[in-house]
Structures are given as C-alpha cells and as structure tokens.
Amino acid sequence: MEGFLVGTGLVLGGFVVAGFYRIAFGPTIYDRILAVNLIGIMTVVFLVLMGLIYRRVEMFVDIALMYSLLAFIGTLIFAKYFSKRGVE
Amino acid sequence: MMEALAVLFISAGLFFFFTATVGLLRLPDFYSRMHAMGKADTMGLLLTLTGLALYQMGEGLSWSKAFVAFKILLIAVFWFLGGPTATHALLRSAFEGGKMPWTKDGQAVLDWPRQEER
Amino acid sequence: MRSIITFCVLLLFWVLLSGQLDLWHLSWGVICTATVTYLSRDLLFKGQLDLREKGREAWRFLKYLPWLLGQIFKANLHVARLALHPRMGELIDPHIIRFRTKLKKDLSLVTFANSITLTPGTITVLIDGDRLYVHAIDRPSAEALPGEMERRVAEVYGEQ
C-alpha cells in the first residue's frame, strides 16, 4: 500500500511537469494562471500524500488546508490585478 | 476492504487529473481550457481526497483518526465552494480584458433565445 | 442578534479546525472570533434575518443538492470524453451566449451561476444586471440553457 501511495505521487508529479508546458509557452497570461491553479490543486493532494507516507498526517493536513486557501486567494488576486491593468 | 476502496477512489481521482492535464494541453483556447480545468480538477480533488481519508481511517476506528479524515474532506468541501468562484473571476477578467473566444464561424457572442428580444 | 449567530458559526468553525478543547486554545478562539465577527458583521447575513425562512431555504437547497451532484458527475464525464477524443476539433463549437434571467436575489443568482459552471459544457463568464454571459463548448449544451436549472433554483429560493 505504501508503494501505491508513492506511485500516486509520481504520477501527480508527471502531470505537474506537463502543466509546466502551459506556463512556459501559454499564449496569454490567463493560460499561465490557469496552469498555476491546476498545479496548486495537485500540490494540495501531494501534501496529504506526503503526510500519509511519513505518518505525520495530522500536521500535513493543516498545511494542505492553508495551501488550498492560498492557492484560491492567489488566483483571485491574479484575476483582479490583470483585469485592472488589461495586460495581454 | 477499506484499502481496496481507497485504491479505487484514488485511481478515479487520478483519471480526472489526467483529463484536466490533457485538456489543458490540447484544447484550442483559454475559454475551452477553462472547461477542462474548472470541472475535472474539482472532481479529481474530491475523489483523491476521499480515497486518502478512507486510507487514513484504516482498520481501527478512533476519534482522532476520524477527526483527521474529516479535516481532509474539509479541504475538498472548501474547494467545491471556492473552485467555481476562482474560475468565474479568471473568466471575467479575461472577458473584460477584451479576449474573445476561439470560434468556428467567427461570431463570438450570440443572443440566446433568438426569436424574442429585438 | 445577527452578530451572535455569526459568532456561533465562526466559533464552531474554529473548534473544528483546532480540535483542542482546553482553556488556553478556547480563549484565544473566542478572542479571534470576536474580532472577525466585529470586522465582518454584515457579510454573512444581509438585511432582515428571518430564521424560519432561512431554515426552509436550507432544506430546499438540500433537496436540490443530489440533482446537482449528478449533474457534476455527468459534466466531468462530458469533459473527459471531449478532452480525450481523437477528433476533438470536430466535436467542439465554442460560443459565448447571452440571455436574460428572471432571478432577482443575490443568493439565487450566485447559486444559478455556480450551478451553470458545474453542469456539462457550460461556464458562466459574467453577470451584468439580469443578463448572463455563458461560454458553451458545444451546440447541445448551449441549447439546454436556461431551461430546467433556472426553474429549480427559483423553486429553492421561493421566486416565481
């Protein structure tokens, strides 16, 4: 079962690397924010996974909760900022 | 028993994350990528975290374990409320910034019930 | 009255997140909760508060929830099929659609917009007064609007 969790982490890592393509070559700024958002969500899952693998989940789950809040607020702030500026 | 269920949920969640990533890479423009992202990732997060919470509960039931599992599910509930909002904010900022969607016939905005209005 | 209810809800949330019930943590919780309640006293509940009406709305919303969950599941399968389909370019036909809605209250508009975002093939872009801008990814999902969903949301919040 431990091995399955590590494998899940590796697969998620692969998806994150695929997401980096959009961050690097996304045609507009919004594509990049979108990719950052997706990577943030995967990181939340990754944090809980790490907690389960290291058997310290009661600590990691708080970090994951905070991180999901930060990812959400970060997306909102990006959206607000770029709509005011009208940057392409 | 619990572990088999956990494996099932986590695999389903990974499938939806896979969908989100493929959609992000393949679809033609920002708005349609938003479709793949805003839906598949919420579902993926919910399923994966449910699986992880089940695994965390494990065999022996105890109060503290159930509490941690509940907190894991709280993340998913929070994202269910926040995800559509974040999607909406991004779309709105793109639309007000003057980005038009990619279309086949070149008409970006259609008025819907076409008979009425006018 | 309103602040007391807000305070109780926030304190419950604090206890759920901290999970510790000794005096030290609880007193800090009361202090923080009181501060947040003072800062955001008119955010959670607006205007006149009618507890019985709120309770009825919450109950009808719970009855609306299973249908919404089914729609979310369908939406995910729809997107998965589109994203993984080898000839995806022929299937999609994206447009932004503009239509008027009958809904008036803020809360019902929010629920409606979020439900549109969560159901197959459509996401809300902008609400401008009573006009909704919705991006639909293909023809069939555009034709389903506004339809059944608006009726159900109106039912939940008692608007006709």
Q: Distance (Å) from the C-alpha of residue B82 to the closest C-alpha of chain A?
A: 7
Interface size A-B, in CB pairs within 8 Å, comes to: 123
Neighbors of chain C with 3 or more C-beta pairs under 8 Å: B
Chain B positions touching C89 (Cβ under 8 A) are 28
**Is A61 close to B75, i.e. CB distance below 8 A?**
yes
User: For position C60, what pLDDT does the model report?
Assistant: 81
CA C139 to chain CA centroid, nearest Å: 25
Residue C13: pLDDT above 60?
Answer: yes
Domain boundaries, chain B: 2-96
- What is the spatial distance between Cα C111 and Cα C116, in angstroms, rounded to a whole number? 9
Summarised one tens digit per residue, pLDDT across range B64-115 is 788 888 888 888 888 887 887 888 888 888 887 777 777 766 666 666 665 4
Mean model confidence pLDDT for chain B: 80
pLDDT (tens digit per residue) in C20-41: 778 888 888 889 888 888 887 6
Total residue length of chain A: 88
Percent of chain C's residues with pLDDT above 90: 0
Count the Cβ atoms, other than its own, within 10 Å of residue C1: 8
What is the residue extent of each domain of chain C? 2-39, 51-156
Q: What is the average per-residue pLDDT within C38-54? A: 70
Most confident region among B11-25, B69-83, C9-23 by mean pLDDT: B11-25
pLDDT of the residue at B115:
43
pLDDT band of residue C145 (cuts 50, 70, 90) is low
Asked if residue C108 has pLDDT above 60, the reply is: yes
Q: Tell whether the model's pLDDT for residue B116 goes beyond 60.
A: no
Do C33 and C14 contact (CB within 8 A), yes or no? yes
Partners of C117 on chain B (C-beta within 8 Å) are 38, 84, 87-88
Contact at CB, B27 and C88, closer than 8 angstroms = yes
Domain enclosing residue A58, as ranges? 2-85
C160 pLDDT more than 60: no
Q: Three-class SS of residue A63?
A: helix
Quickly state the pLDDT bin for C126 (edges 50, 70, 90): confident
For chain B, percent of residues with pLDDT exceeding 90:
8
The ipTM value here is 0.84
Give B32's contacts in chain C (Cβ within 8 Å): 92, 94, 137
Single out the residue of B4, B68, B13 nearest to residue B46, CA to CA. B13
pLDDT at residue B9, as a whole number: 92
User: Order of strands, edge to edge, in the sheet holding C95-100?
Assistant: B109-111, C95-100, C131-136, C122-128
- Residue B84: its pLDDT value, please? 79
Contact across the interface for B19 and C92, Cβ inside 8 Å = no
- Largest Cα–Cα distance in chain B? 67
Instruction: Output the six-digit token pair for C144.
Output: 């389903």
Cross-chain residue pair C126–B91, CB shorter than 8 Å:
yes
> Would the CB atoms of A76 and B79 count as touching at under 8 Å?
no
* pLDDT, averaged in runs of 10, over chain A (88 residues): 87 90 83 88 90 86 89 86 62
Cβ–Cβ < 8 Å for A50, B56: no
Give the mean pLDDT of chain C: 77
Partner chains of B (3+ C-beta pairs under 8 Å): A, C
